[in-house]
Amino acid sequence: MDSELRWEGGRWVYGVQMLTCAGLLYYRSLAAPKVAPIDKAALRLPVSFVAFQRTFLAVFFLASVADALQVVYSEALYEGYGLRRKEIATLFAVGYGSSLSLGTAIAASADYIGRKRACMLYGFFQVLGCLAKQYPDFRVLCFAHVSLGIATSLLYSSFESWMVVEHEKMGFRQEWLSETFWLMAFSNGIVATGSGALANVVANYQGSIGPAPLISATVAALLSILVVKRAFTENAGTASNLWRPLDYALQTLSDKKVLLLGWTQVCFDFSVIIFWFLWTPTLVADGREVHSGVIFTRLMASMMIGTTIAACLLQGPYYLRPESFLPYVLLVGGLSLFLPAYDHQELRVLLWCFCVFHICVGIALPSLARLRSMYIPNDRRAAVMSIYRLPVYAAVLVVMIKGGLQQSLENSTIFGAAIVGLLSGAGCIYYIEKTRGLTQEISLAERP
């Protein structure tokens, strides 16, 4: 079907979303000083913190760009190589299997070898995977996904671990972490949208998806290595050997709140990954035609709205603890997937459900990161976060094998598992809040 006949969900929606996001940021800038009139000086972040934050965000942005560019249009690239659907599914399964095994071990070792070295290792494995991905040989592509699986594990643990530990070493206030976390999540939306747009431009120019996105990802990964080497200082944990961080991490999980937070993180990560597996098949069910690239920008804009809402809730003007509102966010996120899972409604209904889900994702990303910074000890942070990812990779691997390769799992069953997980995560955070025994709002003295 001609692209002009594909359903796009209304060209005006994206503009409204961007205006909403800008309006929230403007409201935040106006409302914050009014909430704390006697503490206006404290609302101004010091120059040293802003410089530190900008340096970290620049590196994280480069690393995220490298990851996004190699992911976007991977399936189209492999179809251009002549691979069958089962071979493509096998490659993705290899990647998740690599993250589950080698990736977890290497990412957990960051607390011993140093988080700066781990961030540089991310760039190395990313470059290796991007280079190997340009060769249309199945065995080479398997190697590429092993390398990229390791890189993914490092991306989701080492950068945040370095930032949180360095933040504390430099003596910055803990509340300021929320500012960095929401900017990290906001930049993810920008990166994802920009990467999709770049891939579209390349595809339109060349007539097909070629190596250009992979070459761009390689350049971004190399730049991230250079900037990390130049701008980051080394910080490491107190472990005496390579395997001690994992031992420390397992001991940390004996704390019920750390374990409940971990389960919530697992369920949340699983639901997000599963969504990206199933959103297109859900929209095109019954032979419907959609413009997936346009709808993708709607979803990313929704996530950016969510991160902006999180900034208002966490860092001003409201200064709420993440435990106080996160259960409701996860509850709404789970319920928003119910219609897509069990009833293929009109496309507009599905799109609104998906947008609500991504607003919840945008709120949850920095909120969960703030909770991790509160409950996970710094000297074992990377190892604990790596263990958190273990069940995610295992569950996704099962879905890839059962649903993608063997086709013995219904999409509704997979979506249902994600819904149950989000609802149980909401219960876990609610329990953490009730057992904390503190008020919802952070007192004026605790505000940044």
Residue 37 has what pLDDT? 43
Question: Could you tell me if residue 14 is inside a domain?
Answer: no
Residue 8 lies in a domain: no
Residue 101 burial (C-beta neighbours within 10 Å; 0-12, 13-18, 19+): middle
Average pLDDT over residues 188-216: 74
**Confidence band of 4 (pLDDT split at 50, 70, 90):** very low
Segments forming the whole domain that contains residue 439: 23-29+47-446
Q: What is the pTM of this model?
A: 0.90
Q: Does 157 fall in a domain? A: yes
Q: What percent of the chain has pLDDT over 70?
A: 87
**Tens digit of pLDDT for each residue in 120-144?**
999 999 999 999 999 999 999 999 9
Q: How many domains does the chain have?
A: 1
Q: Is 67 among the domain residues?
A: yes
The CATH number of the domain holding residue 191 is 1.20.1250.20
Q: What is the pLDDT of residue 270?
A: 96
Q: How confident is the model at residue 238 (pLDDT cuts 50, 70, 90)?
A: low
Answer yes or no: is 41 within a domain.
no
pLDDT tens digits for range 82-129: 898 888 889 999 999 999 989 988 988 888 889 999 999 999 999 999
**Can you list the pairs that 231-235 forms with residues at least 24 positions away whose Cβ atoms lie under 8 Å?**
231/55, 231/59, 232/59, 232/116, 232/119, 232/162, 232/166, 233/116, 233/166, 234/114, 234/115, 234/116, 234/117, 235/114, 235/115, 235/116, 235/162, 235/165, 235/166, 235/169
More confident residue, 31 or 68: 68
Q: Is 15 within the bounds of a domain?
A: no
For residue 290, the cross-strand partners are 7
Quote the radius of gyration of the chain (alpha carbons, Å): 21
Average pLDDT score, the chain: 86
pLDDT by residue (tens digit) across 343-371? 767 888 899 999 999 999 999 999 999 99
